[in-house]
Amino acid sequence: MVIKMVKKPRVLVTRKLPQTVEDKLSENFDTILNPDDSLYSTDELLRLSKNVDAI
């Protein structure tokens, strides 16, 4: 019997969302959250968006 691990899609969330929404996203996706709701610079956004499936 072979069990294959399914990798969750990785999502970058650029703004602070209601906690219930962030919780639901975290259940279904590998999330990178923005807990401070700070604006990302161009360099930060480029760095954080590497290897993500969605923004």
pLDDT band for position 5 (cuts 50, 70, 90): confident
Asked if residue 22 is part of any domain, the answer here is yes
Asked if residue 27 is part of any domain, the answer here is yes
pLDDT of residue 28: 97
Dihedrals φ, ψ of 10, to 5°? -100, 130
More confident residue, 3 or 38: 38
Asked if residue 54 is part of any domain, the answer here is no
Asked if residue 37 is part of any domain, the answer here is yes
Q: Number of folded domains in the chain?
A: 1
More confident residue, 30 or 3: 30
pLDDT of residue 20: 98
Question: Which residue range forms the structural domain that includes residue 31?
Answer: 10-47
pLDDT of 3 strictly over 70: no
pLDDT of residue 25: 98
3-state helix/strand/coil string of the chain: CCCCCCCCCEEECCCCCCHHHHHHHHHHCEEECCCCCCCCCHHHHHHHCCCCCEC
pTM: 0.83
